[in-house]
Amino acid sequence: MPGTATAFPATDDYVGTESAVSRSVLSTRDEADEAVDQAVYGLMAVHGRAAGRPTRIGVDFVSAATGVAAASGRLAATISKLRGRAVSRVHTARPSVALLTVSQYLAAGSAGDPDHVERYDRPGTPPPFTTRDGHRVELETLDPEPWRRFWTGLGLAPAVVDRGWRAFVPRYATASAPLPDELHIAIAALSLLELFTAATKTGVAVQPVRSHADRLGDGLDGPPWTVTATGGPATRRPAAHPGGLPLAGLTVLEAGRRIQGPLAAHLLGLLGASVTRIEPAGGDPLRGMPPMVGDCSARFLALNRGKQVVQANLRSASGRESVRELAAGADVFLHNWAPGKASELGLDSDDLIKINPGLVYAYASGWGARRGPDAPPGTDFTVQAYAGLGEHLRPAGHPAAGSLMTLLDVLGGLVCAQGVLAALVGRLRDGRGRRVDSSLLSSASLLQALQRSGHRPAQPVWGPLDVPVPTADGHLVVPSGTPPGLVDPTALRRLPTAQAVAGLRSDGISAVRVCPDPGELVRDPQVRPLLDIDGCAFVRSPWRFDP
């Protein structure tokens, strides 16, 4: 099976600094073939939906995610040891980590909802937009009213504006945004200054797609996460390890939205923690996003299955008090609210540490503290644009553009969970609570480490065999470093994928079929053991801990 399982002795001598954990992350990058893993586990399919064909991600996304997960496994083993249950070795399965990165797309594609058919071939053009003076930009708003004001102010018909909104708002879930061409034409008539003026008046955010050089010059790099000791020693001793997974017996209180926060809590749950999720009165509206499994969204279940749920109206004093009561007995409180919301609600770390000095308080933000109060919303797509990731994702000769696959939300969830684990190690050693800060921007820095250090060019330089090779009925990928003379791409176009792969393998070339949609992986006999099927496909834990 393509991919590897990374095994580490469960020592804790590397724990203590963010740079040491980052080195552990980077050490896994060359253990497997990045392109092969992207092809087999559906990443190329999702990343390429907006283009209408499977497309290679220009950074080592599977490798970076596996490195974070492997370091997290070692931290979890350290926690288990400090709680009195030794772990001799940690196994982190790279294929399972790759599947976790597409878990919501896998769940949606395997749901089989008869009332909903996923389509990604509708006519239209995805972001970014290009202004009259040549600037590529992302637009962002989380509210339909600013969207309507902005586009109607540019003279577009309400029907076109509404059609654009229906394509724009679910893009983080579908990795597809077929926007009407009229929207792109309207932006192309404006200079960047005119665009900023119109957007500011209507409440829409504009984020230019920055270059690699821009990113290097901003001086905003930092560690993936920071951990700060807070308050005095805990008022209660942590319970003895009850047996089982490393975090068994620990409780996580999560107030997450969309992907980053819920995924972080989900990962802690896979490590054994009991997770309670705070949702608004009436439940999270994303529970109703199709396709459905029973009465709940398959995408939502991919990140939230197995969590206990408490509904609380945070606008009311009683709702906020119920959260404080839960936090008083929790080991971890984790959220990814908008900047300033926690303080506004009286639920920031300074507030909760008063009632639970041993609490690990984790904030998974968009920008961290880097961009100040006037920053645009810190969503996956605005952060990709600001971080210069668009230049890294596409090969030389192609214009910079971000991915509609939620790369940073996913990596941000992994990074946040890792920071929480490091904080729990610290708490077990000195009894004090901790605050953990991570962000989508810090996750982007981790993903771009090779480019920022000069070990990779800003844009990948690929030959014809470094990307998916078309066949008569799909695409295939050959291992990195395959000499061009051994493969004839023109001949492969005339062959069905299965025949082309078989022929190359008979010649000693380990070609693989590019999975055209993650939902198909449930029928792959090599992938099926990594999944649980309960109405749709869910990814099993990537970790195994040997006693």
In the residue annotation, 60 being an active-site residue is answered as no
Q: Where are the beta strands (DSSP E) in 225-384?
A: 225-233, 251-255, 274-279, 292-293, 296-297, 308-311, 332-335, 360-365
Of 59, 80, 74, 58, nearest to 25 by C-alpha is: 74
Of 51, 71, 74, 53, nearest to 63 by C-alpha is: 71
Cα distance from N-terminal residue to C-terminal residue, the chain: 26
Of 467, 538, 462, nearest to 299 by C-alpha is: 538
- DSSP type of residue 460: -
Return the structure tokens found at 280.
């608004």
Burial class (CB in 10 A: 0-12, 13-18, 19+), 115: exposed
* Cβ within 8 Å of residue 256, ≥6 positions away: 262, 264, 265, 277, 334, 335, 336, 364
Rounded to the nearest 10°, the torsion over CA 304, 305, 307, 308 is 110
Which residue out of 348, 409, 466, 517 is catalytically annotated?
Answer: 409
- Residue whose token pair is 């997770």: 275
CB hemisphere CA count around 524 (13 angstroms): 24
Task: Yes or no: say if 5 and 92 are a contact pair by the CB < 8 Å rule.
Answer: yes
Name the residues annotated as catalytic: 409
